[in-house]
Amino acid sequence: MMAKIFINPGHDELSLKGTPDYDPGAVNYDIPLYENEVAWNVGNLVAEYLEAAGCEVKVLQSESLRHIYESANEWGADYFVSIHCNAFNASAHGTETLTYPSDVEGYKLAGCIQAQIVDSLDTLDRGLKARTDLAVLNGTDMPAVLVEMAFIDEEDDAILLRDNQDDFARAIARGVTDFLSE
Ligand SMILES: [Zn+2]
């Protein structure tokens, strides 16, 4: 199983902190918790677990969506996984995984990851959602998924995102290996 997995922690790289247009993604100021930091931590743990499972992995967090999907395409990734936290109205909660509508393999991969997260974190299962408007799903040549692990602006989900990053990472990695062994 030498699949090449491209991991994209969502939003701007942490090194841009303090620059004018810095986009940390969604923020929970009460904790405080920043989406791009959570995604970075989880993404790198996912990479460790997938490498231990025999995958080749590349991690890229970037302010340029085009740079992300072009890097995945040039590297010749077999699968692409973008990692995010959701935010809405401070009461919506749960996990959802997004794919491009015609991406059949991506949909299967999304199902495996979604099931593992909901199982191990006990988050609300909001299901798989088709999205045509996301550059990382449109621009990638390989099956691609975008995981919205939980809602950073909802109290219980946010605590999970703060305290259970390793569990999210293990669940995402197991979802990938479940898919690869199908
Ligand atoms: Zn995001």
Residues around ion ligand 1, judged by CB within 5 A, are 10, 25, 84
| Mean pLDDT calculated for residue range 8-12 | 98
Which parts of the chain fold into alpha helices (H)? Answer: 35-52, 65-75, 104-121, 135-138, 155-163, 165-180
Structure confidence by residue, pLDDT tens digits, 47-68 = 999 999 999 999 999 999 999 9
- Ligand 1 centre distance from Cα of residue 158 (Å): 14
What's the pLDDT at 2?
Answer: 86
What is the C-alpha R_g of the chain? Answer: 15
- Ligand 1 centre distance from Cα of residue 134 (Å): 11
- Ligand 1 centre distance from Cα of residue 36 (Å): 8
In whole angstroms, give the CA distance from residue 64 to residue 74.
Answer: 15
Structure confidence by residue, pLDDT tens digits, 98-107 = 999 999 999 9
- Supply 153's token pair: 């602006």
Is a pLDDT exceeding 60 seen at residue 1?
A: no
- Ligand 1 centre distance from Cα of residue 63 (Å): 12
- Ligand 1 centre distance from Cα of residue 65 (Å): 12
Among residues of the chain, what percentage have pLDDT more than 90?
98
| Mean pLDDT calculated for residue range 71-90 | 98
Is a pLDDT exceeding 80 seen at residue 139?
A: yes
Is a pLDDT exceeding 90 seen at residue 146?
A: yes
Q: How confident is the model at residue 182 (pLDDT cuts 50, 70, 90)?
A: confident
What's the pLDDT at 47?
Answer: 98
pTM above 0.95, yes or no: yes
Structure confidence by residue, pLDDT tens digits, 11-60 = 999 999 999 999 999 999 999 999 999 999 999 999 999 999 999 999 99
Q: What is the mean pLDDT of the chain?
A: 97
Is a pLDDT exceeding 60 seen at residue 138?
A: yes
Cα torsion angle, 54, 173, 108, 62, sign: negative
What's the pLDDT at 132?
Answer: 96
Q: How confident is the model at residue 97 (pLDDT cuts 50, 70, 90)?
A: very high
